[in-house]
Chain A
Amino acid sequence: MKDVVREIVSIVADVAGLDEEEVTLDARLVDDLDIDSVKAIEIAVAVEKRFGVRVKDEDLPNLTTVGDIINLTETLVRELEDEKVGV
């Protein structure tokens, strides 16, 4: 799942207009990275497009840090893989 970490950091950096080094896992989306609601949606769409997953709307307000996005994405990717092998 190293790939997920790298990809999420790159997506968040691109959307926020920051360098990847500045996007640490404990960075807070709103307070540290200036991610407003529109940018939050942009990130959600980018994650969905990149990983082919579906971010649930009720999960969005609970995402506070970059780490939260990574955790959620990892869960979603795992669910998707399980589905594929028919678990």
Chain B
Amino acid sequence: MRRSGYEYDVVVVGAGIGGLVCGTYLAKQGMKVLVLEQHFKPGGYCTSFRRGPFHFDAAAHSFGSYREDGNMRYVMRELGLEGKCNIKKYDPCDRIILPDGEVSFYAEVDRTVDEICTLFPDEHTGIKALFGFLINSKPVESAALRRVTLLELFNRYFVNKKVETLFALPVLGNGALPPSLISAFTGTKILREFILDGGYYPDGSMQHLPDTLIRHLKQYGGEVSFRSLVRRIMVKDGKVWGVRLDSKDVITTRYVVWNADVRQLFLHVLPRKWLKRETVERVKSLKPSLSTFILYLGIGEPPPALPEPGTNIWFLPYYDLERAYRYACSGEINRVEGFMVRISPDKKTILAFVNAPYKTPAYWRQNKERLMNDFIDRIDRNVIPGLKNHILHKEAATPFTLYRYTLNHRGAAYGWASTPSQLFTPEVRQRGPVDGLYLTGHWTAQTQGIPGVAYMGLDTARMILKRENRKL
């Protein structure tokens, strides 16, 4: 399909899961693809790193939607990758610990419903109705959720705030917004995709997922170049013709897929000439999601009360999630008492995180060590007694670390904050503002999380293929 005069048909900027799925699918369909990534390895927020004997996942630590008809399974199948990456499901995928007790989310939904109803017997009608909605609602019914918040939706089902917190806590973790702010569209999507069908893990580490994609991208004739920061997208007569790297090298291409921070794209990378003033103003006014402070622990002999590996454990010592969110925004992490902790499947490492604001690099330099130790104390006290005596390695990533490795604006964990007013913002949709430019990934104001960006990466690839077929 290659047109003469151009080095590539498609340049994908950013080797996050979104960009890799898009590039691999286009290469599979015969297009000449180059993926450019500023980091030295692929994956974006889905990478892993090693410290001596310990393998740590950097951010994403499992994914959802891999049941028979799940979106993630569909994407892997379309790429010809089903079975190429040994994916296991950990059951229960999530456990929520609240002051009155705990509940697990099992693959067997009835068991989960029973546990929740036992804890909140007065709410059993609403609990069953919410599960019914999450499992059976038709896609078009979720249209109705675009302008209400998750809290407004919950109020239709529950009287007791405590039940709301049970469902909203993992949504705060996976969406970085409390129920009063997150759109019900995104909130229910997180519950459906991450929690009701979550807990999948590529055997060994999360890095296997991007590595497998890269391997197949190359098999299909695609190329990838690391340490390649794209500084400029070159446009002529309203149409993309190339990209310029930090090194000043120019690469010519007919299409560019932007899988990175969209603020960077609109404010620095695209020549202003091709942008409407309103578009730039709108993008400047959009609010990113909160970032996270992540703790990585390497453990020797496991403590006796080690929870089951592979399960995301969410802890909150009270019920007021709005309060938890406000604390997260203020950055007083020693007072943010809620967190997520997960033992790795190999039982050698622990990943834990809390929502956190970007602050400044100096703030984190001064506070990182103290916060890390506070955090360990809290996990030891509330979830894994005796943990402190088993730690062989400890380190942490701050919001600034997340920014530094991915260039995601303010270390945002999930792209734009998914409030009803920002959801589906037209200015940042997949079809970009100039011909030949496409946006994909978690900065498109409609999706987040691995299954979400993977599905969108495939969809973006199909948009380009449709375009190609028309031209031929």
Contacts and interface: CB of A to CB of B under 8 A. Distances in A.
Interface residues of B, number: 22
Contacts of A49: 426
B421 to A, nearest CB: 10
B146 interface: yes
A4 to B, nearest CB: 16
Nearest to A43: B424
25 contacts: A14-B426, A14-B429, A15-B431, A16-B463, A17-B430, A17-B431, A17-B462, A17-B466, A22-B470, A34-B462, A34-B466, A36-B139, A37-B138, A37-B143, A38-B139, A40-B140, A41-B424, A44-B143, A45-B423, A45-B424, A45-B426, A46-B424, A50-B426, A60-B140, A61-B140
Contacts of B438: 17
A25 interface: no
Contacts of A41: 142-143, 146, 185, 424
Given A15-B429, A17-B430, A40 B446 contact: no
A34 B466 CA distance: 10
B142 A37 contact: yes
Given A17-B463, A42-B424, A45-B424, A37 B429 contact: no
Interface string B130-158: 00000000111011101000000000000
Nearest to A36: B139
Interface of A: 11, 14-19, 22, 34, 36-38, 40-42, 44-46, 49-50, 57, 60-61
B463 A45 contact: no
Given A44-B143, A60-B143, A38 B446 contact: yes
B370 interface: no
B467 interface: yes
A75 to B, nearest CB: 18
Contacts, number: 54
Nearest to B420: A45
Contacts of A57: 143-144
Contacts of B446: 38, 42
Nearest to B447: A38
Contacts of A50: 426
Interface of B: 138-140, 142-144, 146, 185, 423-424, 426, 429-431, 438, 446, 462-464, 466-467, 470
Nearest to A33: B466
Contacts of B142: 37, 41
Contacts of B467: 17
A49 B429 CA distance: 14
A40 B143 contact: yes
A10 to B, nearest CB: 11
10 tightest CB-CB pairs across the interface, nearest first?
A17-B463, A37-B139, A57-B144, A45-B424, A46-B426, A41-B143, A14-B431, A42-B424, A60-B143, A61-B140
